[in-house]
Amino acid sequence: MKHALALAATLCAAPALADEIWVSNEKDDTLSVIDIETLEVVRTIEVGERPRGITFSKDYSVLYICASDSDAVQVMDPETGEILHDLPSGEDPEQFVLHPNNRHLYIANEDDAITTVVDTETREVIAQIDVGIEPEGMAVSPDGKIAITTSETTNMAHWIDTETRELFANTLVDSRPRHAEFIKGGSELWVSSEIGGTITVFDVATQAEKAKINFDVKGVHPDRVQPVGFEFSAEEATAFVALGPSNHVAAVNPETYEVEEYILVGRRVWHMEFNADRSLLFTTNGVSGDVTVIDVASREPVKTIKVGRFPWGAAFRP
């Protein structure tokens, strides 16, 4: 079956001219590929069990997929949709980040309280680092010197020195941290806390908390405003923050840390990805099983695209 699909995918996708958004469907064990020109799903590809985090190599030649319940990171040829091989990943890989060296994957092993570092060339585990319970959010600083793992139940950001592959700091955040990103040339780290309902902003040089971003969606109880994934528009002018079961995305000013606007999207919005010039934003909406396309300039949702069950991660491919 998988081969048939892969074959079909090859036939259809041969001239891959248009840019694409790839979406992992956690409860369908598939990826949906959205054509950015037509805003339609053009391919559906079977993968391992419970795919969540997905990311392309820097040259887009391979796609890495956290197949959580298969306990593997799968490596796919995006042209053919064929799984080339699995990487050893540790148990239950949920989310990962590719180091700027395009070689080392930092993987959060959700069931094991471990961050695993895998060399994608030798396909070997080069380090395992003890972190808090249910590691999830992963980030690497632009200079590649610091990796971050956030742990959902321990409620911390763990700071990993990528040279020694050891923790050099552990900073508390609010409950259930989900996602982390470096911005402003790596001088700031943002960490979202789903249950706490906040984003904590750290000064990277000192690992000290420098700001906290709060959200208030009109007509939605604060308990249901649960920040998860977030991404920055061109030149980091705006941070877009998925607010989970509040079914809204917040547009945040990264200078003032104030929310400028809330945009209504599908149900339980989780992660997101931009197109090439960052004029369009694609959000994965887990419960409604679709992707909302937001026009970044007007901050209006322009289309809803049906994908598989429980879309989780999203990745851009030119």
Partner 1 sequence: MLRKLLTLAAAAFALPAWAEVALPVTYLKLEVPRPPVLSNLDPVPDDLGEAGAQLGLADNQTTGKFLGHDYSLTVTRVPEGGDWLAAARAALAESPFLILDAPAQAQLELADLPEAEGAVLFNATAADAALRDESCRANLLHSLPSEAMRADALMQFLVKRRWTDLVMIAGDHPGDKAFAEAMRRSITKFGLTLKAEKTWVFDADMRRNASQEVPLFTQDFGDYDMLLVADELGDFGRYIAFNTWQARPVAGSEGLKPVAWSWVVEQWGAAQMQNRFEELAGRDMRSEDYAAWAAIRSLGEAVTRTQSADAATLRAYILSDDFELAGFKGRKMSFRNWNGQLRQPIPLVTPRAVVAKAPLEGFLHQRTELDTLGIDQGETKCTAFQE
- Is the CB of residue 43 less than 8 Å from the CB of residue 34? no
Q: Is residue 292 near partner 1 by the rule CB under 8 A?
A: no
Going residue by residue from 82 to 111, which x/- string records binding to partner 1, judged by CB under 8 A? ----------x-----------------xx
The pairing of beta strand 30-35 with beta strand 20-25: antiparallel
As a dihedral over the C-alpha atoms of residue 66, residue 236, residue 163, residue 178, rounded to 10 degrees, the angle is -40
Looking at 16, 169, 183, 217, which residue binds partner 1 (CB under 8 A)?
A: 169
User: Taking contact as CB under 8 A, which single stretch among the options 79-87, 220-228, 246-254, 290-298 is the one that binds partner 1?
Assistant: 220-228
Minimum CB–partner distance for residue 218 and partner 1 (Å): 15
Segment near partner 1 (CB under 8 A); pick from 4-12, 79-87, 138-146, 192-200: 192-200
Using CB under 8 A as the binding criterion, the count of chain residues that bind partner 1 stands at 34
When the beta carbons of 64 and 159 are compared against partner 1, the nearer one is 159
Interacting stretch for partner 1, rule CB under 8 A, among 32-40, 76-84, 202-210, 298-306?
Answer: 202-210
With contacts defined by CB under 8 A, name the span among 59-67, 163-171, 231-239, 246-254 that binds partner 1: 163-171
Q: Which is nearer to partner 1, 114 or 280 (CB)?
A: 114
Output DSSP code: residue 244: B
Q: Which residues contact 176 (CB under 8 A, 6 or more apart)?
A: 152, 153, 155, 193, 194, 195, 196
The answer to whether the beta carbons of residues 249 and 265 sit under 8 Å apart is yes
Which residues are within 8 A (CB) of 62 and not within 5 positions of it... i.e. 6 or more apart? 56, 75, 76, 77, 78, 84
Rounded CA separation 54/273 (Å) = 11
Residues that bind partner 1 (CB under 8 A): 92, 110-111, 113, 132-134, 152-156, 158, 167-172, 174-176, 194-197, 206-209, 221, 223-224, 245
